[in-house]
Amino acid sequence: MTRLLYNQASKTTAPYPRQDDEPVVGLDRNQWKVVELVEQPQPALQAGEVAELVETLAWLPTTNAHGVDGTLTRTWKVKQGPPPADWIGFDIAIQNDPSIVGAINDLGRLKQVTALSLGHALEEAERGALDRFLPIWQEWLIATNPPAATLDRFRALAAAHHLPADFQAAIAAPPAGPAVAP
């Protein structure tokens, strides 16, 4: 069985320094405890499931004859993961949302071009390139100066379609510069 050292102060483990499982000479037993590791293999997962590692420490009343103070058991808890991000559904929803479409249609021709660049920016966000999405998003916010209700609707649709948390945080941020007058 594999042994580990358990640091009581930091509540962390370290590799056992000997290959032969013999006692460690000079080990500070007030700081370090020796635990035997019992590991369950990670289970096969079904679509949409995630496995969470669960560690449980069980201490023996006294150190046993082999110098072991307890066991560290690692098991897995399987649960449903978050639903996948629905970027296509989000795109369809914003193209069909009256408040968002209305805000774009109310813009002058030049600003409509800026508003339409948002589609490209969303493609970048879907690829995980938030560094490419953010400048276009900020430019769109400044150029279009959308009403708060429109932004709230946009953010609500992002949440409803389970878009990544970093994307949702990015669209929650205020514009980086002054609004341009219509």
In DSSP terms, which residues pair with 59 in a beta bridge?
70
Could you give the C-alpha distances from 38 to 13, 41, 57, 63, 77, in angstroms and in order? Answer: 14, 10, 10, 18, 15
Strands 70-80 and 32-39: parallel
Q: Is 48 left (phi over 0), alpha (psi -120 to 50) or beta?
A: left
- The reported pLDDT for the residue numbered 177 is 58
Q: What is the DSSP string of 85-108?
A: P-HHHHHHHHHH-HHHHHHHHTS-
Residue whose token pair is 């069909």 = 96
The pLDDT, as a whole number, for residue 114 is 65
For the chain, 182 residues long, give each residue's pLDDT as a single digit of tens. 899 999 999 999 999 999 888 889 899 999 999 999 999 999 999 888 889 999 999 999 988 888 899 999 999 999 998 888 999 999 999 889 988 877 777 666 556 666 667 788 889 899 989 999 998 888 878 877 788 888 999 999 999 999 999 999 999 987 665 544 44
Copy the structure tokens of residue 92: 């369809």
Q: 48 φ, ψ to 5°?
A: 85, -5
> Half-sphere exposure of residue 132, counting CA atoms within 13 Å on the CB side?
12
Q: Whole-angstrom Cα distance, residue 61 to residue 63?
A: 7
Please name which of 33, 30, 22, 27 lies closest in space to residue 57, comparing C-alpha atoms: 33
Q: What's the confidence (pLDDT) of residue 1? A: 80
Q: 148, 113 in Cβ contact below 8 A?
A: no
Report domain extents, the chain: 2-80, 87-172
Q: What is the pLDDT of residue 182?
A: 45
Could you count the other beta carbons within 10 Å of the beta carbon of residue 168?
A: 13
CA atoms within 13 A on the CB side of 179: 9
Predicted pLDDT of residue 161: 95
Residue 153 makes CB contacts below 8 A (sequence gap 6+) with 97, 99, 100
- Work out whether strand 12-15 and strand 49-59 pair parallel, antiparallel, or are unpaired: unpaired
pLDDT number for residue 102: 76
Query: What is the pLDDT, as a whole number, of residue 180?
Result: 45
